[in-house]
Structure 1
Amino acid sequence: MSYDLYFWRSGAAEDPRRLADRLADEKADGLVPDERVLAFRAELLRRWPDLDDMIAPWHHDLGWRQPWGEGGLVDRFVALALPYGWEAMSALPVLAGSYGLDLYDPQSEQLVPPASLPQDRAVRDDVARVEGWVTEDHVVRLFRQISAYVGYAYDDLDEAALVGALDDTSDEVVDGWFEYPLAGTPTLVVRLALSPGSAVVNVRVEGTMDLVLATRIETALDLL
């Protein structure tokens, strides 16, 4: 027997019970896409990989596993079907609140919005590096996305600096990476290198990032 929980953008539900009933049938037409939902989902799976058998809706991050749900709903809500007594249950409201999401427990019919949580219970684990890859034609889009996250005014001069920057890079050589700083809040350094013989660009984003920022960057890398 499972213990069900639902997460969605805070304030999105006038009637949480009715919305949860609809989400159980994969009817999410009342919810708008929100990247914070994706970021929260990614963080859940990073912290507790065993949730890949208990999370919905389905998305490519689950690989061959398909508990239930449609991939097109992945940025609208997260549903968990947990075993009773799951070890990290108490951490979920705080983690959800840090992403601006409500938690709804249909068993007790209790809605937990971020504003109801103590302000000193923030979830913070500083992350020094995020890694992933994109194709060459998505490099500029990635820079624009990360710049928006940290408040850096990315412009045409930055774009010009990237022209030809990857030509002599290689992820097989220690000093074969191109580095570019983004002086936002926080300051990040983006390191790029081509994978020889392909259009794949390996990416390392380095700096002092909180979990929310790190997960947003991870999500951007996954989706590009």
Structure 2
Amino acid sequence: MPPKRKPLTERMAQVERDLETSDWCTLFHDALSAFEKRCTLKPKKVVCLGLGSLSDWAPARYQLALLLRLCRNFDIPTERIEAFDPVFTKEDTEYLAGLDMQVATEDMEARYELIDPTLVFMPHCDLPFYNNLFEINWSRERLANMILLGNNLDDYVVSGPTKRVQSKGPLIMKIVPHLSATSLPNKFPLEDAAFNDLQLQFVKMSELPPEEDEFWKLDIASGEKDALAS
């Protein structure tokens, strides 16, 4: 008989200790300091998407520990965190609610309108979800409210299959040249899959075209509408 699994509260406490005392955490804070020198936006809330099951998947626990550390850095109380993942278990939901986080029940497919300055935490989500996030906030006013911790979006454009990016992430192709990104350190020794190829990113507003520019129009012919509906 396999050993009985420890409660999620105990496992998360251990993960937070592991992260706190790791050399990786020191490197992360160096990266965060460099990011904050370029990005003056101070997020007031968090949208956390695609975390995975905390009870079933170790990388999700480390990612949550990182998010909680970021929230302390930005002085964001946990009740200002909204989290959703369709794979959350009952144990996951109860644990997050115990932290006073808001656990959403509706799958918005990342279409969250950023009315206030927001940290969007989307580690290792699929390309269409990033595209949906940008689509629903496709204006200078809304994009100015976003700090994104997620995949290296430039990789999709540089090395991804062009047809796939054009069909599933047309707005990613548009916005990537206007992003300022700071890479997180790779290869966290205790859980290699937790933080690989992640970046903190924000939109360089001074470089964006004016609102009346063609840049802001969705090109139906190029398949953007199809991508947004998928």
Q: Same fold (TM over 0.5)?
A: no
The structure that is helix-richer by fraction is 2
User: TM-score, with normalisation over the residues of structure 2?
Assistant: 0.29
User: TM-score, with normalisation over the residues of structure 1?
Assistant: 0.29
The structure that is strand-richer by fraction is 1
